[in-house]
Amino acid sequence: MALRVVGAGVGRTGTNSLKVALEQLLGGPCYHMFEVMQHPEHVPLWSQAVRGELGNWDEILGDYVAAVDWPVASFWPELVEANPDALVLLSTRDSADTWWTSAHNTIFTFMTADLPPEMHEWREMVVAMMRTRFTDRLDDEAEAKAAYGRHNEAVRRAVPEERLLEWQPADGWDPICAALSVPVPDEPFPVTNTTEDFLKLRGGA
């Protein structure tokens, strides 16, 4: 595994737009929670990671040039260490309120929806990951916002300034391209998986 970008930002911070953008810039696939859903064989591997039992990150990420979003974001310390030359990209929103509104209306609600049986193992993995590496009170606005703040501050404290890029969706291409020393594309930065997009994709879940 030789990731060029380790995404430390949690879900609903523009991570799917980042996935699309990084794949264009780096010419290879970028991991995202959507990849977990498309590769159910990864779910037990992530469960092993949650338990601290995953022997080799290549089993999940060996074919990828970048990784963003949950569950990757919860394992940023391990992945930063395993990829010493990678840029660490901390994606955030303009406020904890903005992030909470988006997360609560999409992924947190989806996690408690009536999911089909084939997604039960996925949900168990995500719930265990959140409980051990974020918060077990996702339905508590104040606690979820506090967990979001703790997560971001932990990244800022641990990652050297020269390796860390803090980015928000409104920042677009320029800071990412500068950090990766690649040309800025002559097209708008991709905007994908808005709350409206998510709800349409999940049938209103």
Domains and CATH numbers, the chain: 5-201 (3.40.50.300)
Evaluate if residue 152 carries a pLDDT over 80: yes
Task: Please give the average per-residue pLDDT across 94-104, as a whole number.
Answer: 96
Q: Which pLDDT band, with edges at 50, 70 and 90, does 7 fall under?
A: very high
Evaluate if residue 115 carries a pLDDT over 90: no
Q: Please answer whether residues 80 and 72 qualify as being in contact, where contact means their C-beta atoms are separated by less than 8 angstroms.
A: no
Residue type, 101: T
The predicted pLDDT at position 114 comes to 87
Mean pLDDT, rounded, of the chain: 93
Give the residue-averaged pLDDT of 21-43.
97
Provide, rounded to the nearest whole percent, the portion of the chain with pLDDT above 70. Answer: 93
Q: How many residues does the chain have?
A: 205
Quick one: which H or E segment has residue 112?
A: none
Whether the pTM exceeds 0.85: the reply is: yes
145 vs 33, 125, 137, CA distance in Å?
A: 21, 21, 10
pLDDT, position 20: 96
pLDDT score, position 204: 39
The pLDDT score that the predictor gives to residue 193 is 54
pLDDT confidence band for 203 (50 / 70 / 90): very low
Contact 11, 25 (CB under 8 A): no
What does the pLDDT read at residue 84?
A: 97
Tell me which of 200 and 148 has the higher pLDDT: 148
How confident is residue 205, by pLDDT bands cut at 50, 70 and 90? very low
